[in-house]
Chain A
C-alpha cells in the first residue's frame, strides 16, 4: 500500500530562521536520517520539500484561459512544507513512520510533534471478485 505523509506546519513566514543554529542543524540531520532509513528499508517512493509560503502563488484560469495569479497567503493556518510517498505493508506501518517524523526536534531540541497527514494513495482497480 502506498501512502502520502504530508508535513503540515503553521502558516506565516518561515519561522525556522528564528531557531538557534544547533537546533536547526539537529532538525535537518533528523530529517536526513529519516529519509535514509526509509530508503534503506525499501519503503521510499519519493519525497520532496517545498519552498516557503512566500513563494506560493494561487493560480486560476482567466476568461481567456490565461493564468491569473493571486496570493501570497502568509496568514493561512496550515501550510504544506513537504511530503513523503511511501510503500509499506499496511496503515499501521504508515502511522508509525508518521509518528516518528512528527517528533522531529524543534527550536529547543524537544520534539515538535507536528501534525503529519497520512492518506492512502489511490490505486488501480480492485482484485476481481466473483460477485
Chain B
C-alpha cells in the first residue's frame, strides 16, 4: 500500500490512539507540555510515513516509541543548552513504560485539559488536540482563526497547566462529579460550534460536531455509570438528527415547526431515545438528560402540531428548578405559551424582562415577537423582530428575523417584475 494520504480507517485509528499514547508518554516523563508536543509530532510522522510504508503491526507501540524518541531528542537539545547531561543518561536507562490502564489515563487527560484554571476556549482547543488527536491546523480551520493564533492559544494553555502544578492523576471519587462538569461542557461547546456551521467552511465545522460525538462516546465508554454523560450523548444525537432539516438551500434558518421531518435522521433519534430510556429511570436526573428528554419529545412528534407541549413544559419546569438559567426560563415561557396561549407567555415575559441578563438579549425580543405574532399584534411583532434582528450576532438568524418581520408588513408592489406578491 503506497500513497500520500492516510486512509480514513488509519485516521480514525490515530485519533483513537492519541489520548492513550499521550497518557503513556506523560506518565513516563511527567512533563505535560513537552509530552503533548512529542505526541503531536508522532501523529504527524504517522500521517507522513504510514501511507508510504504501511501501518505498523502495533500502532500504539509505534506511536509511543516515536513520541518518546522525539521527547528525548527535544530534552537532549534542551539539556545540552542547560548542560545537564546526567538527566539524559537517566532517561535513556529507563525501562519501557508499563502497560497503562487506558481508561484512567484518558480520563485523567480529559480532566487535565478541562482544568478550571483555563478559559473555555483554551479548554476546547487543548482537548481537541491532546484527547481528540486533531492537529493545530485542523483546529484553527474549524474555529476560523489563523494557525499561529491557535498554536499560541494551545501553548499558553499548556503553560498554565504546567504552572498550576496539577498532578497527573485522577480526581478522587468524591471530586469526580464536580470535575466532570467542565469536561461535559467542553464536549458540548465543541458540538455547538460544529452544529452552528456557517455557509462557507461548512464541511470543516461539521467535522467538529462529529468530533464532539466521538468525545461523548469516549466519555460514555469510560464512565458508563454517569447518567449525565449518557444524557449529553443523547442530547447530541437527538439534536444532530435535525441538522439537515435546519437550514434551507441558501443557508437560511428553518424553525423547528417548519422543518421537513422526513429528513430527520431516524437512526440517531432511535439511539438517543434508547439511551435516554435506559438512563432516566436510574433517577440521577441532571440538566443534560432533561434537555435530551425535551429534544426527544420534539423528535418523536410526527408533526409540529402533534408536539406534546404539556410534557415539554413539565420538563422545562424541572430544568428551571435545577439552576438559575435565564435561557431555560425563556424556553419555559415559550412552552407555557404553547400550552396556555400567547397571552400567558407574554405575561411571563414581562417578569423575565426584569432580569438584566435578558433585558437586552435578542432571544427575549425574538420570543416576544413570535408570541405577539401569534396573538395577532402584527405591529408589535414587527417592532420586536426588528429589535431582535439588531441584537443577534448570527447572520442567518438576523436574516431569519428580518424575513419574519417583512412577512407581517402589508404587501407593497414588488420592484422585481414578475415576482410580485
Interface residues of A (CB under 8 A from B): 1-2, 39-46, 87, 89, 120-131
Contacts and interface: CB of A to CB of B under 8 A. Distances in A.
A120 to B, nearest CB: 5
A124 B393 contact: no
Contacts of B253: 125
Contacts of B395: 122-124
Contacts of B298: 130
A130 B394 contact: no
10 contacts: A39-B148, A41-B156, A42-B122, A45-B144, A45-B145, A122-B394, A125-B396, A130-B294, A131-B257, A131-B331
Interface in B104-161: 119-122, 143-146, 148-156
A131 to B, nearest CB: 5
B239 interface: yes
A124 B149 contact: no
B332 to A, nearest CB: 11
Contacts of B247: 125
Interface in B226-276: 239, 242, 246-247, 253, 255-257
B15 interface: no
B205 interface: yes
B214 to A, nearest CB: 19
Given A43-B153, A126-B394, A130-B291, 14 more contacts: A39-B148, A39-B152, A42-B151, A43-B149, A44-B146, A45-B144, A46-B146, A126-B392, A127-B195, A128-B239, A129-B256, A129-B331, A131-B255, A131-B256
A43 B242 CA distance: 33
Contacts of A124: 196-199, 205, 394-396
A2 B145 CA distance: 10
Contacts of B63: none
Given A89-B120, A89-B121, A122-B394, A127 B192 contact: yes
A40 B152 CA distance: 6
Nearest to A124: B198
By CB atoms of chain A within 10 A, which of B257, B294, B395 has the most? B395
A126 B242 CA distance: 14
